[in-house]
Amino acid sequence: MPEKPLQNIALLIDADNTSPKGIDPVLTVMAELGQVNIKRAYGNFTKPNLANWGPLSHKYGILPYQQFDMTAGKNATDMAMTIDAIDLLYQGKVDGFGIMSSDSDFTPLATRLRQDGLLVYGFGSKNKTPDAFKSACTRFIDIDALIKGASDEADAPKQNGKKSKGSIDEELVELLGTAWKAARRDDEGFAQMGEVGQIAGNRSSFDVRNYGFKRLSDLFEAIEQFKVERRDNTVWVKRLR
């Protein structure tokens, strides 16, 4: 996460391979990076299954890019998105990208953008998106988890402030444990939570929203293997077992 908000963010949407229900929570996440001034959706909007993108384009100021299916089995959307992204890159006016898609074809694009030092946030379905695209992004965020989180907030009150632990698995615990080991620790074994989170993010496309949490501190507090301690304005964590 940059210390200062970036000036110009581009959000490119593969409408053929993502859900329109995710646009609102995705834009909320992108606002953490900076001002999302470029919002483009690509797809064959003559298809009935893409009809919902029409009203959203007006509501959120998304510019639709019509891509007709030239040949059966070939997706013109991917090529159009990639060309536009590279054009924006070489114009030098974009500081970061968001790519809404579950398509592995955007792996080389994400890799190329990051080589120029740009942040790339990927938004796709966790169970449909190949690991290669997830790893290529600075952060990959499960769009299904975002949609569910937004729906839960709107439709149901919090259950006595308790957080669900259902999405916390051993792989996540080991990722955070490895990051904790690599971080600087005090004499009692505590490491600054921010440093642990940064190391975990460098090792993978880790993001707390994929596990149903808004803040990293909430996630650590929900994991029994970690102890959380607050000192002044800093949060510290320690692996217990």
Taken in order 161, 167, 170, 171, the sign of the CA dihedral is negative
Work out the average pLDDT over 28-45. Answer: 88
% of the chain surpassing 90 pLDDT? 37
Put simply, whether the predicted model's pTM sits higher than 0.95 gets the answer no
Looking at residues 143-162, what average pLDDT do you find?
Answer: 64
Q: pLDDT per residue over 10-34, tens digit each?
A: 999 999 888 888 998 898 888 877 8
- pLDDT of 159 higher than 80: no
How large is the average pLDDT for residues 54-71? 84
Q: Count Cβ atoms below 10 Å from residue 221 Cβ, excluding itself.
A: 16
Q: Which of 69-78, 102-111, 192-201 has the highest mean pLDDT?
A: 102-111
* Domain spans, the chain: 6-154, 170-239
For 185-197, what is each residue's pLDDT tens digit?
A: 999 999 999 888 8
| Residue 85 in this model has a pLDDT that exceeds 60 | yes
What are 213-231's pLDDT values in tens digits? 878 888 898 888 999 999 8
| Position 133 confidence tier, pLDDT thresholds 50, 70, 90 | very high
Which pLDDT belongs to residue 86? 96
* Distance (Å, whole) CA 92 – CA 142: 29
CA distance to 98, 123, 124, per residue, from 95 (Å): 11, 18, 21
pLDDT at 204: 62
Band of pLDDT at residue 71, cut at 50, 70 and 90 = low
| Sign of torsion over alpha carbons 64, 66, 72, 77 | negative
- Residue 34 CB neighbours (<10 A): 17
Q: What is the 3-state secondary structure (H, E, C) of the chain?
A: CCCCCEEEEEEEEEHHHCCHHHHHHHHHHHCCCEEEEEEEEEECCCCHHHCCHHHHHHHHCCEEEECCCCCCCCCHHHHHHHHHHHHHHHHCCCCEEEEECCCHHHHHHHHHHHHCCCEEEEEECCCCCCHHHHHHCCEEEEHHHHHHHHHHHHHCCCCCCCCCCCCCCHHHHHHHHHHHHHCCECCCCCEEHHHHHHHHHHHCCCCHHHHCCCCHHHHHHHCCCEEEEEECCEEEEEECC
Average pLDDT value for residue range 93-106: 92
Domains 6-154 and 170-239 share a fold: no
- Reported as a pLDDT band with limits 50, 70 and 90, residue 142 is very high
Tokens of 79: 């090529």
What is d(CA 85, CA 76) in angstroms, rounded to the nearest whole number?
Answer: 14
Place of tokens 């993108």: 53
CATH 3.30.420.610 holds for 170-239: yes
| Interval 34-41 mean pLDDT | 91
Exposed, middle or buried: residue 128 (CB in 10 Å: 0-12, 13-18, 19+)?
middle
What integer pLDDT is reported at residue 232 of this predicted model?
86
Domain 6-154 of CATH type 3.40.50.1010: yes
